[in-house]
Amino acid sequence: MSLTDALRQLWRYRYALVGVPLLLTGAIFFFTRHEKKVYASEMTIYTGIASGYTLSGNAESDFFRTSNAFDNLLSLIKSRETREEVAYRLLAHHLQLGDSLDAQLLSWPTLSHLHELLPVRLRARLTGPTLPETLRRVRAYAAASDDNELYRLLNSHDDVYSVEALGRVAAARINSSDLIRLEYEAGDAAVCRHTLQLTTQVFSEQYRGLRVDQTQAVIRYYERETDKALRALSAAESRFLAFNKDNDIINYYEQTKYIAGEREYLNSDINKIEMQYAAARAALRTVNGKLAGRAAAILSSGELLGQRHRLEALQAELANQEVFARQREGGSSSALVPALRAEVAATTAAMHTTLTTHYAQVGTVEGMPSKSLLEQWLQNLIAATENEAKLAVMQKRKGEFMAEYHKMAPLGATLKIIEREIDLAQKTYLVLLNHLNDSKASQQNNELTTELKVVAPAFRPLHPRSGKRKLLLAGGAFGGFFFVAALVLGAGLLDGSLRKPSIAARHTGLPVLGVVPMPLAPVPAAGTYEQSSLHHLTRQLLRQRGSAAPGQPFVVAVASTRRHEGKTSLTQALAARCAALGLRTVALYPAGTGLAPETPNPEAAAEFYDAARAAVQLPALADLSPAAAAAELVLLELPALLEDDYPVSLLTPVRVVVLALRADRRWESKDQQALQGLRAATAYSVEVVLTGVDAFDGREVLA
């Protein structure tokens, strides 16, 4: 469909294009004459979710986490629980006023509306001495039954107190900032502002409670587990202390190290002293063997034996003090050691003096001086006595060390088990304590970050918002116009009728001889579209007169596949026009066309024939109408091809077949079949005359 066709299609339905928008506009104007005034308010809240400050510094930027946090917050604002709580508080504030008015909370119409909704007895029952008590009563009464007045009010369509009305609180994040905006519309300016304030209080409390309660359960868990771990650690440490006390352990590993070291040291000293002792004994036996006679008597004297016993006792005590000196703090020697050494030296000197006093110049068996042997004997005696004393003390000490060693050895396994229990309990305690501290820090952080701050508080609007009436009127006008236009254009696009010559030629495959309007008068008025279309069709038809045989009439058949295609009117108009041009014209009509034989046609002769009989008897044209043989132009109207029988014999002299087609119908397959039968019955051309075509579409064939 071209633009011109679209405009013509719209112009054709211009009254509907104007009437429907006017009707819609009028209906909207009538039904919105009582439109209520609407007040709107808004407030802005800072959340700090995306870039707020936390205990660990500035909040990290995480798009998905931030988006999830804002979604949770906005969902909480729009949740039914939030709306119900706001409705409870709003109703409690209004009930607390009683019959008085507070312009900051509501207006007189709203107060009167509340009195209409709830009877006096119910209001008195719900109103308490304080606002918290009133709120408690409202909650309890609403939850007591799902069929009482308050429950029905909350779940109704009321514009003030219903959950549905509070669902008009719109919440949205402002771009990608930390701010959210709340908007609300109501018929009361004070209620509009107060509702936003209550909504902020309710969802702030719920948001803070949800965030804090998330960590409270975790904290309680870690507190219980940390206390259990601490008790287990204390019990293990108590067992460790008791074990050390029972076994006289100060530091097990140092003690065992010391015992092992002392054992090795003693073994080394014992080996060395044993060798020295053996050497001294051997030397002493050798000297004793060399001494004889009087020298031996000197050694056996009572005085020297006493001094010898004294020296042995002193050596034993000195060895005992020196061996045990390493075990004393700092490894320092005892204060008795110097005195003992002095006594040993004094005793040794005394023995030397005794030997000198009793000395007598005697010789040995080998001829050696006795004095030299006595000195050797004294030295070896002192060495043997000293080493014997040390060896005895060290052997005793070795026995003590071995006893201690055998005592400490099995304690290590038990001590390791206890230490492992302590280590495990300590690690468990420290891990749980760390988690507990993290959870408490997270709870504190949630308490800090869930403090929502009102940046721009709700305001009380002074003027109502412009209503939607003008918008609805404009929408109705434009919507009605475009709806009708869309229907008209859609119908035009889906129209499959033969509405103009080019479409008819494409669907039928036949040339279009001309177009005529309907209804068509036999003699159209001068200067009209009907006259010009008829004259054009007549000229196109008479141009084909040359195909007629000399002396024979020019026969034109006017046919149609169906009835009511306008062929009778077309035949009448052609006959009248050709007769007016001076041609002897005869028009043959099938009986039953609706034309009476006496129909006035002053210029053309009109005759009627029985089409059914002619289809059976197959008469010639001259036999059917003697007047047709003397005429110059014969217009033969045939019955409808799909509905009646038509005389095939009459098509023999026909030189042109005019197929009348109504422009407002479709070309169907049965029409094509009828056309094929008609074309098989005549050797001459079949051309289309499109009837019922308006002047604009007719311009395709009219000059």
Whole-angstrom distance between the N-terminal and C-terminal Cα of the chain?
A: 23
**Cβ pair 508, 675 in contact under 8 A:** yes
Pick the closest to residue 664 from 500, 551, 523 (CA basis): 500
pTM given for the model: 0.47
pLDDT > 70 in the chain, percent: 74
Q: Using CB atoms within 10 Å of the CB of residue 120, give its burial: 0 to 12 exposed, 13 to 18 middle, 19+ buried.
A: exposed
Instruction: Specify which residues 465 forms β-bridges with.
Output: 38
What does DSSP say about strands 53-54 and 57-58: parallel, antiparallel, or unpaired?
antiparallel
- The pLDDT tens digits of the residues spanning 513-563 come to 999 998 888 888 888 888 899 899 899 888 888 766 677 888 999 999 998
What is residue 513's three-state secondary structure? strand
Query: Is the per-residue pLDDT at 597 higher than 50?
Result: no
CA distance 410 to 405: 9
Query: Is the per-residue pLDDT at 133 higher than 90?
Result: yes
Q: Helices 14-31 and 3-12 sit at what angle, rounded to 10 degrees?
A: 60
Query: Is the per-residue pLDDT at 327 higher than 60?
Result: no
| The pLDDT value given to residue 598 | 45
Q: Helices 252-290 and 411-449 sit at what angle, rounded to 10 degrees?
A: 150
CA distance 366 to 179: 124
Query: What are the residue ranges spanned by the domains of the chain?
Result: 3-35+469-494, 39-219+450-456, 266-433, 501-691
CA distance 314 to 219: 74
Q: Helices 80-97 and 108-117 sit at what angle, rounded to 10 degrees?
A: 100
Residues 6+ apart with CB under 8 A from 449: 48, 49, 52, 54, 59, 211
Enter the tokens of residue 10.
């719209």
CA distance 558 to 589: 10
Instruction: Specify which residues 636 forms β-bridges with.
Output: 557, 588
Enter the tokens of residue 519.
């209804």
| The pLDDT value given to residue 694 | 82
CA distance 83 to 149: 18
| The pLDDT value given to residue 659 | 93
| The pLDDT value given to residue 467 | 66
Report how far Cα 520 is from the mean position of its chain's Cα atoms.
72
CA distance 120 to 134: 15
**Cβ pair 586, 592 in contact under 8 A:** no
Of 159-168, 187-196, 376-385, 501-510, least confident by mean pLDDT is: 376-385
Top-tier CATH class for 501-691: alpha beta
Amino acid at 75: S
Report how far Cα 213 is from the mean position of its chain's Cα atoms.
23
- The pLDDT tens digits of the residues spanning 98-114 come to 888 888 888 888 888 88
- The pLDDT tens digits of the residues spanning 397-455 come to 666 666 666 666 666 667 778 878 888 888 888 998 888 887 777 766 666 556 778 88
